Amino acid sequence: MGELNKSLGLGTRSQQRTSSKARIRTGSLKIQRLRENALAYTFLAPSLILFAVFMFYPMIKSVYLSLHSTDPAGNVADYVGLDNFTMLFSSGQFLQGIKVTLLFALLTVPVGILLALVLAALTHSKLRGMRIFQFAFSLPMVLSVGSSAVIWKFLFHPTLGMFNYVLSLLHINPVPWLTSPDWALFSVAIMTIWMNLGFNYIILSSGLQGIPDDMYESAKMDGAGPLVTFWRISMPLLSPTIFFVTVVSIIGAFQSFAQINILTKGGPVNSTNVFVYSIYQEAFVNFRFGTGSAQAIVLFAVILLLTMIQFKWVERKVHYQ
């Protein structure tokens, strides 16, 4: 019995030592995890501060202002609840802005992606001189929206513009590019397609270059032509890139502002008054920050809904390797 008790006592001390080591190890892991989290948050701190100042605070402030009315100086005057939203939907301003914005997105997004895809496919071959075309097609990306809009404003000029000069050489009457309600949105769409061409082209061209060459060689050995190869191999493998470009382009179309402000200022006859420009006019021209904030929140909800729909339905067509 004595030896048994002794052996039991040794077992108990051994278990105690093991338990003590486990506690020490657990404590060390916790300290190491705290240090790693502290280091991670230290690196994230600049981004979190920028997000807090320029994104989260304006969002919270917009929600606050959308529930209040403001005086002519822009100061908060009274709590009005959802009256700003009710006024927005009942005035028809919302439907008109959404209608113009949707039309603008339909004019710019499909054409812009298709044009960039065609150019990326044509310059995908490794022939001599293709670098020059790749540089030329990527060039719009380095220009700011403001600079591009000023250049295109001169091109669209009714008497001094290059476009009407070319039409006059063809004995075609000049086109009121920016002064006619029938042409203004179309003209802004042309400029926007050109402006987005650089980004779309670079992304799609990079996606094409990521497709393995042996797949093209196998298709060529099987007798597939260029169009069949592009449709059967390039398009399925490029679908994630096309989906990304589509989502980004639609969000960009709904947020277009600078080119419209410089080229048409929402006119003529509100034909180019997209939703973002309407928010700008309401908040910073008429100083009605309440209704302007309500419009901004509605726009956020519309973009969020469209993005969720794309991820819910369109992403099913995407082929991931």
* String of DSSP letters for 282-319: IIIIS--HHHHHHHHHHHHHHHHHHHHHHHHTGGGG--
Per-residue tokens: 175: 């086109």
pLDDT of res. 12: 67
pLDDT of res. 263: 92
| Higher per-residue confidence, 27 vs 207 | 207
Q: At what angle do helices 289-312 and 83-90 cross, to 10 degrees?
A: 70
pLDDT of res. 118: 92
pLDDT, tens digit, 9 for 90 and up, residues 309-320: 888 887 777 766
* Least reliable range by pLDDT among 16-25, 93-102, 132-141: 16-25
Give this prediction's pTM: 0.81
* Mean of pLDDT values over 297-305: 91
Percent of all residues in the chain with a pLDDT value above 70, rounded to a whole number? 95
pLDDT of res. 138: 82
Per-residue tokens: 274: 């997209």
pLDDT of res. 142: 84
pLDDT of res. 3: 53
In this predicted structure, the answer to whether residue 15 has a pLDDT above a threshold of 80 is: no
156-187 in b/e form (b: 16+ CB < 10 A) is beeeebebbeeeeeeeeeebbbbeeeebbbbb
The rounded distance, in Å, linking the Cα atoms of 68 and 291 is: 9
pLDDT of res. 45: 94
Mean pLDDT of the chain: 86
* Mean of pLDDT values over 128-143: 82
The rounded distance, in Å, linking the Cα atoms of 106 and 192 is: 12
* Mean of pLDDT values over 274-294: 88
**Max CA distance (Å), the chain:** 119
In this predicted structure, the answer to whether residue 136 has a pLDDT above a threshold of 70 is: yes
* Mean of pLDDT values over 122-151: 83
* Mean of pLDDT values over 91-96: 79
In this predicted structure, the answer to whether residue 8 has a pLDDT above a threshold of 60 is: no
In this predicted structure, the answer to whether residue 245 has a pLDDT above a threshold of 90 is: yes
pLDDT of res. 283: 87
In this predicted structure, the answer to whether residue 97 has a pLDDT above a threshold of 90 is: no
pLDDT of res. 38: 92
pLDDT of res. 80: 87
pLDDT, tens digit, 9 for 90 and up, residues 197-242: 999 999 999 998 888 888 888 888 888 888 888 888 888 888 889 9
The rounded distance, in Å, linking the Cα atoms of 271 and 301 is: 23
Banded model confidence at residue 126, pLDDT cuts 50, 70, 90: confident
* Least reliable range by pLDDT among 104-113, 126-135, 173-182, 272-281: 126-135
CB atoms within 10 A of CB 194: 16
Residue in the structure block whose two tokens are 């990079």: 206
pLDDT of res. 133: 83
Per-residue tokens: 235: 């398009």
The rounded distance, in Å, linking the Cα atoms of 73 and 16 is: 73
In this predicted structure, the answer to whether residue 162 has a pLDDT above a threshold of 70 is: yes
pLDDT, tens digit, 9 for 90 and up, residues 32-73: 899 999 999 999 999 999 999 998 998 999 999 989 888 877
